């Protein structure tokens, strides 16, 4: 097997932090695909993932698993300890509900804004202020909901760390990187982000 990754890409970070949380050292190679110089668009990489995106896990038979959540769920079955997506069907479903919500309503909206605003993505799509406004409003609505959902808890779901915390962390780590820090009115999101940032899975 081989894991194709890029150190600073949020969806690849999600897998690195997940593996660190579980204390897993993969018994196979991780290959860096430099997104900054467009290696994801090379013919060689497109044979592994025609979508030209990381992360991708290439299996022994040459086939690939893409989508960070699918890769993580695959690892979760192979390495069940320490559980990061709950310990029973109900917990798994609830953790994935909020994890998907963060991914689709916050991370994806941030990605849409970045695609329409950042020089790195110029030429990729026709830029539109309306799309930026739409994504910003949809993301703000999701942030309002998420902040209320977290309430005074220390973790996004329940009373222990889960994949939902990793998704929250990489989402807002990327926001900081894009100089779009969390609005201070989101006290619960900020608390979860700041406390996760101190974990060894991030600092170590
Ligand atoms: N939903 C996918 C998103 C994958 C994705 O967008 N990856 C980004 C890095 S975080 C990428 O490879 N971008 C390269 C490009 O779009 O050129 C996942 O969760 O894995």
Q: What is the total count of domains within the chain?
A: 2
83, part of any domain: no
Band (pLDDT 50/70/90 cuts) for residue 181 is confident
**pLDDT for 21:** 98
* pLDDT digit string, tens, across residues 186-195: 999 999 999 9
97 and 195: one domain? yes
* pLDDT digit string, tens, across residues 98-132: 999 999 999 999 999 999 999 988 888 899 999 99
Atom of ligand 1 nearest to the CA of 14: 19
Ligand 1 centroid to residue 73 C-alpha, Å: 17
155, part of any domain: yes
- Give pTM, 2 decimals: 0.96
Give the residue whose CA is nearest to atom 14 of ligand 1: 53
109 and 158: one domain? yes
Q: Give helix then strand counts, H and E, for the chain.
A: 9, 4
**pLDDT for 124:** 87
Pocket of ligand 1 (CB under 6 A): 9-12, 35, 40, 52-55, 67-68
Domain that holds residue 128: 89-203
100 and 198: one domain? yes
How many Cβ atoms sit within 10 Å of the Cβ of residue 9?
A: 21
133 and 36: one domain? no
* pLDDT digit string, tens, across residues 23-43: 999 999 999 999 999 999 999
CATH of the domain at 18: 3.40.30.10
Compute the distance between CA of residue 78 and CA of residue 50 in angstroms, rounded to an integer: 26
199 and 105: one domain? yes
| Whether residue 16 has pLDDT greater than 90 | yes
Q: Which helix (H) or strand (E) holds 32?
A: strand 29-32
**pLDDT for 120:** 85
């Amino acid at each position: 097997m081989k894991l194709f990754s890029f150190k600073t890409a949020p969806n690849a970070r999600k897998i690195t932090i997940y593996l660190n949380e579980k204390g897993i050292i993969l018994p196979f190679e991780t290959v860096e695909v430099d997104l900054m110089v467009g290696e994801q668009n090379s013919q060689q990489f497109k044979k592994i993932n025609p979508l030209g995106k990381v992360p991708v896990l290439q299996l022994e038979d040459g086939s690939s698993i893409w989508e960070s959540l699918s890769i993580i769920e695959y690892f979760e079955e192979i390495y069940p300890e320490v559980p990061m997506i709950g310990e029973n069907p109900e917990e798994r479903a609830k953790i994935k509900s909020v994890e998907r919500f963060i991914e689709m309503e916050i991370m994806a909206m941030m990605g849409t804004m970045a695609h329409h605003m950042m020089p790195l993505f110029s030429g990729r799509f026709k830029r539109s202020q309306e799309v930026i406004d739409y994504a910003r409003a949809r993301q703000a609505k999701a942030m309002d909901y998420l902040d209320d959902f977290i309430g005074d808890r220390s973790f996004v779901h329940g009373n222990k760390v889960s994949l939902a915390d990793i998704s929250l962390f990489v989402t807002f780590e990327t926001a900081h990187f894009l100089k779009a820090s969390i609005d201070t009115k989101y006290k619960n999101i900020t608390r979860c982000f700041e406390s996760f940032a101190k974990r060894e899975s991030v600092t170590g």
